[in-house]
Amino acid sequence: MPEPAGRGAGLAVRGLTVRFGGAVAVDGLDLDVPRGRITGLIGPNGAGKTTTFNACTGLTRPSEGMVSLDGHDITVAPPQQRARLGLGRTFQRMKLFESSSVGTNVALGREALMAGGNPWRHLRQPRRDRRAIAAAAAEALALCGISPLADVPVADLSTGQRRLVELARVVAGGFSLLLLDEPSSGLDVSETDDFGRVLEQLVGERGVGILLVEHDMRLVMSVCAWLHVIDFGRPIFQGTAEETQGSATVQAAYLGAVA
């Protein structure tokens, strides 16, 4: 039986189906991502995980089904509206400004959200906006443990540090629900452990909900309270980390291949 989610609090996906021509990338997916929990979405390469993220964030229009955030139907809402409602996202490939400082990159998370659909606000920011952006950036840097790097150009950072900058930027946006797409890619074991602790701290201190797509099963099993497993776009299992590891269906479709 699925673990019940909080009433209306968080991301809910019902019957999500995404087709590209005659190919079905996601087929009838249901999942709940409540606040205050890290939820995992795992499966083999090509299973439909990133397509699910794209449908949730508005980059891809679902063929069928519904996506809601805190009780609001956002199935056809544009990405910027979803962001204003509290939905943030990172990507498999980091999108950082290499020549800018860490602090500038992180501040953009709040600045872009505040500007919204009004580009003139970027050019003429009220003083209170500048203070709010600076405060949000400083808090995000501290939470992610990278405050000492605030003035360092991104180009000078290690892969692990860059991943934390990307996370800090989305944290600075003040989102209540985060979709993280393979955030530990390129990290060593120690960096992955540090990253996992930051995620747990983020959930514990801010009560955000996180949907994590990740191939590092050590990280997934250590931080995720609930897991959804998909294969060829179809849901094949959901349960706790322990239940997922013990599932013969999951072992056959995925975990046996990555163990």
Q: Let me know how long the chain is.
A: 259
Q: How many CB atoms lie within 10 A of CB 233?
A: 23
Q: CATH topology for 1-77+212-259? A: Rossmann fold (3.40.50)
The structural domains of the chain, with segments of one domain joined by +, span: 1-77+212-259
One pLDDT digit (tens) per residue for the chain, 259 residues: 334 344 458 999 999 999 999 899 999 999 999 999 999 999 999 999 999 999 999 999 999 999 999 999 999 999 989 998 999 998 877 789 999 999 999 999 888 777 655 554 554 566 777 888 999 999 999 999 999 999 999 999 998 899 999 999 999 999 999 999 999 888 899 989 999 999 999 999 999 999 999 999 999 999 999 999 999 999 999 999 999 999 999 988 886 655 4
What does pTM read for this prediction? Answer: 0.87
Tokens of 109: 């998370």
